[in-house]
């Protein structure tokens, strides 16, 4: 009988569990609903240059506040006569880009720090205390503060939102590292004089992937809302680049005259966030076999 090393066993278990995870996600109706919503949103963002009827920055000063279903303007126009459908499609594209890059920043920065804090106690005393201080401030306070200091731009918005989520990522990865390092296969690796860096890379990190993926689905909708908020306050994406937050900011003074100018981007944000929340919950339950036992 062939004996597998802990790394090979983990890889085998990961491969064999993929089918189980997918079956559980498929059996979750709310999760699949969220997945369909995300598929539609991503498809709309990817095909925006092809399906948008107008340039999102094109103005029609003679056609302001056209109501939805007007010929040539399916979702109406705003105060400058810009097509709301086109601006929404490009706004969704920007929101997903900012959200994905923000998640990438939080993962790239937070994962190594969480691994270090969970494995080496002397680093834990430093990293965890700094993390606790950062977690004492609400996410939006940190994001708005960083964006205000660095200045309004897409890059700065990504950095501000991503950095503000690093403490939560550190906390999640640290907890998983503490749990995994108490497992028998890690203890065996230590008795064989395996170095800390090797244990982290070959044994701890692969087993943290599920928790990181689930946390990414939690961060993504918050990042989308954060981008909309920063743009609404003038600290994120700058005109003429279309953004859902900018659309809401422009439409607030015309709510009585053209409510659809605010409703459309608001619904787009709600669909993105709801899709990620529903799909993320299903994915969390599928990746955590004990979740169904706790319910």
Q: What is the pLDDT of residues 158-202, one digit of tens each?
A: 999 999 999 999 999 999 999 888 888 888 887 887 777 888 888
Residue 30 has pLDDT above 70, yes or no: yes
Predicted pLDDT at 155:
87
Residue 233 has pLDDT above 50, yes or no: yes
Residues 236-257, mean pLDDT to the nearest whole number: 88
pLDDT at 111: 94
pLDDT at residue 2 is higher than 50: no
What does the alpha-carbon distance between residue 165 and residue 134 come to, in Å, rounded to a whole number? 10
In whole angstroms, give the CA distance from residue 144 to residue 107: 20
Give the global pTM. 0.84
Q: Are 236 and 102 in contact (CB under 8 A)?
A: no
Name the more confident of 87 and 196: 87
Question: For residues 65 and 61, what is the distance between their CA atoms, to the nearest angstrom?
Answer: 10
Taking residues 272-292, what's their average pLDDT? 80
Tokens 């059996």 sit on residue = 27
pLDDT for 12 beyond 50: no
Reported as a single tens digit per residue, the pLDDT across 56-79 is 999 988 989 999 998 889 899 999
Q: How far apart are CA 34 and CA 36, in angstroms?
A: 5
Burial of 213 (0-12, 13-18, 19+ CB in 10 A): middle
- Across residues 262-269, what is the average pLDDT? 94
What is the 8-class DSSP label of residue 253?
G
């Amino acid at each position: 009988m062939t004996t597998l090393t802990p790394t090979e066993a983990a890889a085998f278990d990961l491969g064999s569990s993929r089918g189980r995870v997918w079956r559980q996600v498929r059996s979750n109706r709310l999760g699949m609903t969220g997945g369909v919503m995300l598929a539609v949103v991503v498809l709309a963002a990817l095909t925006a240059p092809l399906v948008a009827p107008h340039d999102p920055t094109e103005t029609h000063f003679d056609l302001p506040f056209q109501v939805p279903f007007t010929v040539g303007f399916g979702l109406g126009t705003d105060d400058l006569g810009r097509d709301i459908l086109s601006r929404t499609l490009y706004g969704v594209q920007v929101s997903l880009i900012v959200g994905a890059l923000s998640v990438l920043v939080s993962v790239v920065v937070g994962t190594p720090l969480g691994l270090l804090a969970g494995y080496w106690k002397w680093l834990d005393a430093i990293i965890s205390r700094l993390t606790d201080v950062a977690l004492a401030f609400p996410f939006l306070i940190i994001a708005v503060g960083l964006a205000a200091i660095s200045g309004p731009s897409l890059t700065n918005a990504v950095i501000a939102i991503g950095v503000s989520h690093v403490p939560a990522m550190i906390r999640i990865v640290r907890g998983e590292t503490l749990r995994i390092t108490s497992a028998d296969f890690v203890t065996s690796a230590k008795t064989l004089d395996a170095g800390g860096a090797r244990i982290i890379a070959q044994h701890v990190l692969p087993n943290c992937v599920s928790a990181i993926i689930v946390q990414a689905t939690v961060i993504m909708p918050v990042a989308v809302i954060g981008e909309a908020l920063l743009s609404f306050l003038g600290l994120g994406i700058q005109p003429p680049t279309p953004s859902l937050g900018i659309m809401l900011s422009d439409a607030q003074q015309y709510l009585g005259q053209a409510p659809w100018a605010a409703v459309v981007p608001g619904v787009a944000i709600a669909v993105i966030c709801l899709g990620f929340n529903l799909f993320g919950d299903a994915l969390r339950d599928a990746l955590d076999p004990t979740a169904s036992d706790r319910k």
